Amino acid sequence: MNPLDTQAETPVGLTRRARKIYRVLGETYPYARCELDFDTPLQLLVATILSAQTTDVGVNKVTPELFRRYPDAAALAGADRSEMEELLRPTGFYRAKTNSVLKLGQALLERYDGEVPVRLKDLVTLPGVGRKTANVVLGNAFGVPGITVDTHFGRLARRLGWTELTDPVEVEHAVGDLFPRKDWVMLSHVLIFHGRRMCHAKRPACGACPVARWCPSYGIGETDPEKAAALLKFELAPGAVAGPS
């Protein structure tokens, strides 16, 4: 299979191709979701801050005890720094993360009565919170449409030929223009799932990819179906079909 030529693709053609890819990936990962464990908006906000430079699995190992000790913004604001640092040590950059979480608790108390705000413009003023973190919280805790441009999402958006942009905010807007707002949250999930499980940064499993026929980057990874299948970091859902066709 030769890489798809998108040079002459019209804006309408790009939109149709992008939505077709999203539909197929949605069928491949019907269980796609936020992989951080949380029960409240505050827990998700803290967990997302902690997920920087580490895995969601790693964060999920430390947050149960963290949330047990510090169940609300007041508890976070009044936490002992050394105790929190020890809890967060496994996540890496634990001193900086402790500083962010302590300041987050203080800011929530001082500005929002200890509650997590529901507006993007308010969330991004909080310590340790950028647009990516804010969109994770808005989409998964409050049901507010938003696109989460993490490293996986940005990489796949470019590989799939949806945009050539590299700035996360520009990628967010460019990709957002291709899809209805109602799809933004799930789009983020399925693309991130695909990036983590199949379209890896260093060695994508092109030969097992269900959207290969619509991907201009097909061939940058392993194209042999059996070898590609061995690279997968998940099991296909019942009835799902992997591989170019």
The yes-or-no answer on residue 39 being catalytic is no
In the block, tokens 């976070």 appear at: 76
Q: Give me the catalytic one of 97, 150, 177, 227.
A: 150
The yes-or-no answer on residue 97 being catalytic is no
By the 10 Å C-beta count (0-12 exposed, 13-18 middle, 19+ buried), 97 is classed as buried
Q: Give me the catalytic one of 37, 39, 132, 202.
A: 132
In the block, tokens 């804010």 appear at: 134
| The one-letter amino acid at 221 | G
Whether the CB-CB separation of 84 and 46 falls below 8 Å is answered with no
Whether the CB-CB separation of 210 and 199 falls below 8 Å is answered with no
**Conformation bin of residue 224: beta by default, left when phi > 0, alpha when psi is -120 to 50:** beta
Query: Using N-to-C axis directions, what is the helix angle for 131-141 and 41-50, rounded to 10°?
Result: 150
**Conformation bin of residue 207: beta by default, left when phi > 0, alpha when psi is -120 to 50:** alpha
Phi, psi of 118 (to 5 degrees): -105, 10
Whether the CB-CB separation of 77 and 106 falls below 8 Å is answered with yes
Which DSSP string corresponds to 96-146? HHHHHHHHHHHHHHHHHTTPPPSSHHHHTTSTT--HHHHHHHHHHHS----
Known catalytic residues? 132, 150
